[in-house]
A and B are shown apart, each in its own frame.
Chain A
Amino acid sequence: MSGHPTYQPQGALMKWVERRLPIGGLIHSSFVAYPTPRNLNYWWTFGGILSFMLGVQIITGIVLAMHYTPHVDFAFKSVETIMRDVNYGWLLRYLHANGSAMFFLAVYVHMFRGMYYGSYKEPRELLWILGVILYLLMMATGFMGYVLPWGQMSFWAATVITNLFSAIPIIGESVVTFLWGGYSVGNPTLNRFYSLHYLLPFVIAGVVVLHIWALHVVGQNNPTGIEPKSEKDTLAFTPYATVKDSFLMVCFCIVLAWFVFYLPNFMGHADNYIPANPAVTPTHIVPEWYYLPFYAILRAIPNKLMGVTALLASIVILAFLPWLDTSKVRSARYRPVYRQFFWLFVVVCIGLGWLGAKPAEGGYVIASRILTFYYFAHFLIVLPLLGIFEKTKPLPNSISESVLGKAKAGAAALALAVALGASMTPQAAQAQGHDVAQPPQLKWSFSGPFGKYNQAQLQRGFKIYREVCANCHSLELLSFRNLAEDGGPGYSPAQAATVAAEAKIKDGPNDAGEMFERAGRPADRFPAPFPNDAAARAANGGSLPPDLSVIAKARTYERGFPWFVIDMFTQYQEQGPDYIAALVKGYEEPPKSMNMPAGMSFNKYFPGHMIGMAAPLQAGQVTFDDGSPATIDQYSQDISAFLMWAAEPHLNARKRLGLQVMIFLIVFAGLLYFTKKKVWSDVHA
């Protein structure tokens, strides 16, 4: 269904080129004259959004690759260098990280839209299968990208996912060793993941070309599911679809910008700000949210090989959808029974996602099994039978005839989401029944869209760090120069140099080949209190005082439903500082029933309650020049604010730029809305 060959090159040069390479004609027939059904709704704009997001991911990814070091010793630090030192590095990394999540969000909308309107049916089977291949490629790319920062979640995701292959009978172990390039996940693994993570997006781009090619051969499906019959049923791609796609794309960018600028770590895991440690698995490992339903299916089945097979089958089964659905009618609009089963299926997928994030125990496992069974039943039982037994509604004669009727799918989706949310609340609250106390939510100067650090507070916090924390804890990602940088405690370069000069830095070798100590310079990093981890453990009764550079982002506490949804709108991102502030004052007498080993203290906020650090702050321990009270309450907030700055030094710049970007996007979206209305006015008239 290619467009009419109406392209007439203008000017001698264009004519010269067109005779030799008809690229102008190709672009014109594909993206200008290409006829689109006139009744496409906004769910159809997600294909364009996905192309846009692929572009965003490739561009930000190429740029990040210019600064990233794929080596187990440097990967984590190079990512932190991007966040701290590279110009706009924090923006590029947050765009890339949140962009991947938004990419998956868009692909899920796109897939569910295809399912609702039967876009996979004859003659679009191959188009759909190419889509399933794209989705698999996206999953592989997303997974390998998640490994690259080499935090705890990266490392253990790499371990768990590659171990899926060990389920293969006989050759499983050899396959896993082959994937790792070693006897465990290590440097060769990281290197090959980096290489493949760079390669796969271009493979995706190639398959996208095939996907769009196939689309342009068979034409777009539409909400009625009947093919366009005359010119009256279609509109030219440009300007009609272009302006409509652009409008929703900008709206989508507003959501993306909301996360990038205000909730950049909302969809990530705090544990991934802890450098990879092959000796310790995080207590609660879950994949990124977009893999959760499949993770739930994996865990629902108590047999290793069967679990992995079910996981794979749950994705591969999508490719067979065109033949499993036996109904002759495409759109759910004219399939009243299928429509209900479709929404049930959506709920099941979301439910599986929720279960995937829960611990694999008790009722959760039983629920996972039920939903897993239903997931497969939808494809293998419901769809084949519906085609036979369902009584469909009469189809309209043409698209233009149906334009008068409007779908209410959006409202139904919203109602379902609300119902789902409500149904989850009590269960979630039940799951919250851990005995670890919830840190109280404090007021922070840097919270909310207009928040910024309080310089005096950061200076007080730094004083506490220097006089108390620095005796045991390193701050190795920070340099003395950071103290004088924009958005920080606001010291002058001379003051930062003075602080630096008071530190002893190991340097060398000198001309005689010997190491020596010299006074610190602003460019030096904060020296660690102990020469190595073993020394730090030995001096602290066997416990390793963690580095504090990113601790405010590496610590969190479980928010649970519905709070994590509400947090999205209130921009609550201060779990880390809240936890730290609570922890440093959370010391109590241990309950009688608890047997405390020597050197351990009881802390009501610390997971497990047994903490190796004795109560670190006593009232009066640090005196402030600005007359702030020398109380533990004051200390706990100041040190937490300081550590938040240490973990996120560009927060001020981030929120300032975020406001500008938000204003721009809202104005742009408004203009596009009116442009769209104008362009479409003659269609609706």
Chain B
Amino acid sequence: MTTVSSAEHTRRDFLYIATGAVGAVGAAAALVPLIAQMNPDASTIAAGAPIEVDLSPITEGQVIKVFWRGKPIFVGHRSKKEIAEARKVNVASLPDPQADEKRVKEGKDQWLVLIGICTHLGCIPLAHQGEYAGFFCPCHGSQYDTSGRIRSGPAPTNLPLPPYEFISDTKIRIG
């Protein structure tokens, strides 16, 4: 008698658990579209395609801003002096050690291409300003050198480099 009732019990419990589990799976699956819709939509992704920038009009010492994926990209034409300044520093002493050579394309030392967003909290640094005559962020005083490396202030890392390549001597493709 007891065995029958416990088998009956098990069968009933199994049914309840199975029903609850299927319901839970359904509820979880229903969350997928509700969450996925927050990600960039297809038109935003398509608009984030690579852009081409013509370097020929940028004169020595000039930094221009272009936009890629809604982010300002700094394209700077550095002078000999600025390159020399960026290279004479002791790399190991920097807060985020990285050699200037690693931050430009080989043989294109004069072209500095950066994502112009302060790594502290996202403000746009000003070019040719600050103690190192590189970039200075007016929001919280971060100082970057002529290679876009952090030298002092609250920003934790160097200005990041966007993916880019030279498609000719005077043209780059960002993205």
Contacts and interface: CB of A to CB of B under 8 A. Distances in A.
Interface of A: 59, 63, 66-67, 81, 84-89, 91-92, 246, 479, 481, 485, 511, 521-523, 664-665, 667-668, 671-672, 674-675, 678
B47 interface: yes
Nearest to A657: B33
Given A521-B49, A523-B49, A671-B19, A85 B38 contact: no
A89 B23 contact: no
Contacts of A92: 33-34, 37
A672 B19 contact: yes
B39 interface: yes
A668 B26 contact: yes
A228 to B, nearest CB: 27
Contacts of B49: 521-523
A81 B19 contact: no
Contact of A67 (B22, B37, B42): B37
20 contacts: A59-B34, A63-B34, A63-B37, A67-B37, A85-B41, A85-B42, A86-B42, A87-B37, A87-B42, A89-B37, A89-B41, A91-B33, A92-B33, A92-B34, A479-B46, A485-B42, A522-B46, A668-B19, A668-B26, A671-B19
A322 B16 CA distance: 42
Given A481-B46, A671-B15, A672-B19, 8 more contacts: A85-B42, A87-B33, A89-B37, A521-B49, A523-B43, A664-B25, A668-B22, A675-B16
B41 A671 contact: no
Contacts of A667: 22
Majority SS at the chain B contact face: helix
Interface residues on B, range: 20 to 34
A461 B175 CA distance: 34
Contacts of A481: 42, 46
B26 A664 contact: yes
B77 to A, nearest CB: 16
B7 interface: no
Contacts of A91: 33
Task: Count chain B CB atoms within 10 A of each CB in A87, A675, A678 and give the residue with the most.
Answer: A87
A246 B41 CA distance: 35
B12 interface: yes
A511 B25 CA distance: 56
B57 interface: yes
A675 B23 CA distance: 12
B36 to A, nearest CB: 4
Nearest to B43: A85
A251 to B, nearest CB: 14
Contacts of A511: 57
B35 to A, nearest CB: 9
Contact of B22 (A66, A84, A671): A671
B91 interface: no
Interface in B9-54: 12, 15-16, 18-19, 22-23, 25-26, 29, 32-34, 36-39, 41-44, 46-47, 49
A668 B23 contact: yes
Nearest to B48: A523
B64 to A, nearest CB: 10
Contacts of A66: 37-38
Contacts of B46: 479, 481, 522-523
Nearest to A90: B33
Interface in B113-155: none
Nearest to A523: B46
B95 to A, nearest CB: 37
A479 B38 CA distance: 22
Contacts of A89: 37, 41
Contact of A88 (B18, B33, B43): B33
B18 A671 contact: yes
The 7 tightest CB contacts between A and B, nearest first, are: A88-B33, A523-B46, A85-B42, A85-B41, A671-B19, A87-B36, A85-B43
B41 A479 contact: no
A522 B18 CA distance: 48
A273 to B, nearest CB: 20
A356 B41 CA distance: 40
A507 to B, nearest CB: 12
Contacts of B34: 59, 63, 92
A665 B32 CA distance: 17
A671 B26 CA distance: 13
A678 B57 contact: no
Contacts of B43: 81, 84-85, 479, 523
